[in-house]
Amino acid sequence: MFDYVERIAVAGMLSCAVLCSIPVAAQEGAPFPTKPVRMVIHIGAGSSMDIVGRVLAQELTEAYLKEERQ
């Protein structure tokens, strides 16, 4: 009886792994991002968090444009 339970458990784990990998394979062809990405910073303008957010957004924009051109 223990062999039967083990077989069912292994079959369940394998089927779960296969079903979880299907959406990843389907999304592989879509480029990211397809729309503009918006960063929302909930701190007032001019604060240190706002400045860090602006610098980060600029760096991400440059990195994405450089990758897109290649």
Task: Give the tokens for residue 50.
Answer: 């706002």
Per-residue pLDDT band for 19 (boundaries 50, 70, 90) equals: low
**Residue 11 DSSP SS3:** helix
Average pLDDT in the chain: 75
pLDDT at 40: 83
pLDDT(21) > 70: no
Consecutive H or E run containing 54:
helix 48-69
Q: Dump pLDDT digits (tens) for 27-57.
A: 555 566 667 778 888 888 888 888 888 898 8
In single-letter form, the type of residue at position 27 comes to Q
